[in-house]
Each structure stands twice: as C-alpha cells, then as structure tokens.
Structure 1
Amino acid sequence: MNRFGAAAVALALLAGCGREASVPSAQGHAAGSETLRSGAIAMHATAVQTDKLPEQVVRRYGAQRDARTVLLVLSLRLGEDADAKALTAQRVEATVTDLLGRKQTLAMREVRDGELVDYVGTAQLTPPDTLRFEVAMSGEQGRHVMKFNRDFF
C-alpha cells in the first residue's frame, strides 16, 4: 500500500464520523471517505473532524485540531490502488452546506509529499450536524464533480 493508501485508511479509520450517506455518483468505502471513478481516474475525498486525527496529521495539513473543524482532503489518482499515480488539478472547488442552509466556500490548497499531491481545506461546524459537500477538480484529465453528505457528532 502506498503512502496515500495508508494515509487514507488511517484517516478513514480514525474518522468515526457516522454513517455514510453518499449520492449515487460517489461510492463510499470507509467512514469519512468517498471515491468517484471515471475510467482509470479516481477522485478521492475524505472529510474528518480534526479532533479525531493524530496531532501530527493535523499539523501536516496545517489545520487546527478541535471538534468544530472538519478537514477535507481531495486527490486525483490515475490507476489502481498501490500503482496509482498522483494527478495535479488546475482548479479545485469545494463548498459545504449545513442543515440550516449555511454555505461555506472552502479555500483549498495543494499539499505535496514526494510524488503524492493532495488538496486540503477546512470547514467549521457546530456538532452535531450533517454537512453536504460539493467538490470539483479540473485539469488536463477533465472535470470531476462529487457530492456527498457526512454526519458529525
């Protein structure tokens, strides 16, 4: 398993964010994580309250560790699992809407670790709440859009 796979599994296992509630376009595979496949390209999204993560993970992504902060990590990969190659995006957009209809546009930034590329941003919430994520990544490989819900406690 490559570093991305290990990090995604660690984030997903530590998430404890409640039940999966994905829309048909996205396929959930672990708590806090979604994957959208389009041919050989996979778009991964992980949304986790930062207080559920180890301090070193939160620090690596430049976030604040508390129950009111959600870390969103997005990536594009070409290929399957351990053999997947990281793809870069020219444009990354993410919005989050809570149950009361309050919308946040997330400032996404690129984080590199060797050959791996992730795009991260943070959202604020008042638990318990359900957040609806709408994310899009565009680049040479086309535009990929994913929508999913996540419960936070």
Structure 2
Amino acid sequence: MKFFSTEDYFIDKKIKNEESALAVIGSEFRIVQLGPSVEFAANFIAINSLILDAVRVASRPISILLDISCVPKRYFLFLLGLGFKQELIGRMDILYSEGKYVPADVIRNGTNVDKGFVSEGEWTSVQIPYLEDSDYSPDSRDLFVSVGAEVTLAMPTVERFEPTALRL
C-alpha cells in the first residue's frame, strides 16, 4: 500500500522506490494506492476491504508482515485493532527500522521550502477504530500517556482526563 502524494518531489521518490522494490520482489505483487495519509476514514475503508478480501480468499485469518518504519501510527494501530477485534489476522509480524530524520526540502517556485518532518496534516487526538473505549472520558481511570516530542500538543488531551498525578 502507498499513500497518494500531492508534491512532485514525493511522487518522484515514491515511483523510484516502487520500481526498486518491484525489481527485487517481482511483478506478481500489486501495490494498492490509497488516498493521502490524512484521509483516514476513506483509507480505513480501503484497508478494511483489502483485508476482508484476503480473508475470504484464504478462508481463514491471514498473516501480515508490516513494516511500521514510515507508517503513520494511526494506521498501525488501526491494523492492530482490526486484527484483534475482528479476528481477521492470525499472525502479524512487525518490522521497524530506525531512520535518520532530516526535514525534507521541497523546491517550490525555484526556492527550497522546509516541509518539516510531516508532509501533511495536523496533530490531533483521536480514537482509533477497533481500539476505542465505549466511555472515552469516565470520571476515574488510570491513564498512561506515551508521546514523543509533541508533549505540549498532547497536554489538552491529558488535561481532559484531569489526572490526579502526572509524570514525564
């Protein structure tokens, strides 16, 4: 699967990566085109259909090999939740490769533009389908929050739960 890109810079990079991958793995594999990564609802429907089709063909839960190195967390969590809650995935092997992260420079109108580490979208707190709680904000609950560098962006979510203690 690959996400649709709106920037020529990223489109060219993806085409080159796809060609390199197909040269190694062969042409019997098909790459599924998704919408832009920020179109979660439509992409979740497409991924869900893809997995359901594979389960129907196999007549059993399927195995998935997933490289999460560049997969947005929301998609990774969606696949985990879908697999467990719907019992569609019998086995999921997960790969991860730590990368050297540098902002991507994109050339626009002859000028380099720093796109940052994320090409599209904003940081928002959302519940993940299949992993959501029936009572999103109960009166009392234990809460464990794990965030990367986006601590200040996560604080509105943490404050919504009104924790009695907070450790960073």
TM-score range, shorter-chain basis? under 0.3
Query: Rg larger in 1 or in 2?
Result: 2
Greater fraction helix: 2
TM-score between the two structures when normalised by the length of structure 2: 0.25
Query: Which of the two has greater strand per residue?
Result: 1
TM-score (norm: length of structure 1): 0.27
Which protein has greater RCO, CA pairs closer than 8 Å, 6+ apart?
A: 1
